[in-house]
A and B are shown apart, each in its own frame.
Chain A
């Protein structure tokens, strides 16, 4: 217990790193997902094919393999570039590699979520908007997008919870997130169980907070929808 108290500032700093990785990845994943959904629903066939390839590959390869490829492969590319420019060698940042990998992997999952949600909005809604003289952009921003979010929210919530847990693998490329710091603290104090359990508790706390926020969002975006009551 004393060891846990002694190392708690370091562990909490790690929790902050984990949270940063998770939130930045979420931002990247949502943007990629919106773009991907737009491509999947586009009339241009090659755009649809490339997006289908992207979602298949990024959902079919383990996150860890993808991360090692980005991290070590990215380093090789950086070395070649700095050689070419005759500059000093630049070290690839584990934080950036982690965010990019997790962001693009979950971008593939979000693509599917948003695609389904866009399709779930009844076409009559958009027709009604146009009948009122709205421009394409107004129809998208005031009618399609807010209703799409309502359908997408459960999927977004699920993806976020999975994303949050998959951040633990950044410890395997040496980023000092809470799992990595717990490993270090466990080794030096000979109390690995205590520290890994503390990491579990921190993850559970983050999940609990997320669930709370998601429920709130769900209620907000479901305003005006009657739910079945028995």
Chain B
């Protein structure tokens, strides 16, 4: 038998590209939505008012403590259990009909998941902003909002770059479960190629290599971002330049 037949891959290249494009869309979009939500929520998370911080910590507790696959299934297959939702679907309400769409549900589940992780990262970084920076800003007569916007958030976001790079890569890899709800992402494309040709090695090794390639690109981008925005935190010795 033929162990590795490259013609299986070359014959399915368009399918792999479409899958890769779907994976990139899912990853980039959910990371961006998660980021946009995580910034204000992280400020609320560090609030001293428990009525503000507690609900957010319950949200992150749930989304960080359960598998993203189960969250996705809960949203995509679960919402239809509600009779109210079924009525909305029957009446053709276009907003609630979105919840029958695999693409929308996947984006929603991924965004909520990564938002929970990102907001805890940012909250941690906000708590770690040196107090002297805040005091100096207050001494300059800045209002609380200005301190937040010009001092705390920029400083915290820079410090959050290394853990954020981790989260971006985990999100890329986590997005592989989209094929559980019929979406044809890169993994879904590989599964289709596998079942058509019964060629597991060609399909999954090629998909794995594409994921690796995207991972390398992302790691490179974050290296650049760190050297650009975190230069002031790097040790000043020459040896720090090595790796």
Contacts and interface: CB of A to CB of B under 8 A. Distances in A.
Contacts of A186: 77-78
Contact of A203 (B65, B82, B172, B215): B65
A207 B65 contact: yes
Interface in B220-241: none
A119 to B, nearest CB: 14
Interface string B68-85: 111101100111111000
A192 B81 CA distance: 7
Contacts of B74: 192-193, 196-197, 200
A68 interface: yes
Nearest to A195: B78
Contacts of B96: none
Bin chain B's interface residue count.
35 or more
Interface stretch (A24-32, A124-132, A135-143, A167-175): A167-175
A204 B71 CA distance: 13
Contacts of B173: 61-63
Interface stretch (B32-40, B121-129, B149-157, B197-205): B197-205
B176 A65 contact: yes
B78 to A, nearest CB: 4
Interface string B161-197: 0000000000011111101100000010011001000
Interface in A176-230: 179, 182-183, 186, 190-194, 196-197, 199-200, 203-204, 207
A203 B73 contact: no
B165 to A, nearest CB: 13
Nearest to A64: B176
Interface string B36-65: 000000000000000000000000011001
B67 interface: yes
Given A62-B187, A69-B201, A179-B67, 10 more contacts: A62-B175, A64-B179, A64-B187, A65-B176, A179-B70, A193-B78, A196-B77, A197-B78, A200-B70, A204-B61
Interface of B: 1, 61-62, 65-71, 73-74, 77-82, 172-177, 179-180, 187, 190-191, 194, 198, 200-201, 204-205, 207-208, 211-212, 215-216
29 contacts: A60-B215, A61-B212, A63-B173, A65-B207, A66-B208, A68-B190, A68-B191, A68-B204, A69-B201, A72-B194, A73-B201, A80-B1, A165-B66, A165-B68, A168-B67, A171-B69, A172-B69, A183-B77, A190-B81, A193-B77, A194-B81, A196-B74, A196-B78, A197-B74, A199-B66, A203-B66, A203-B70, A204-B62, A204-B65
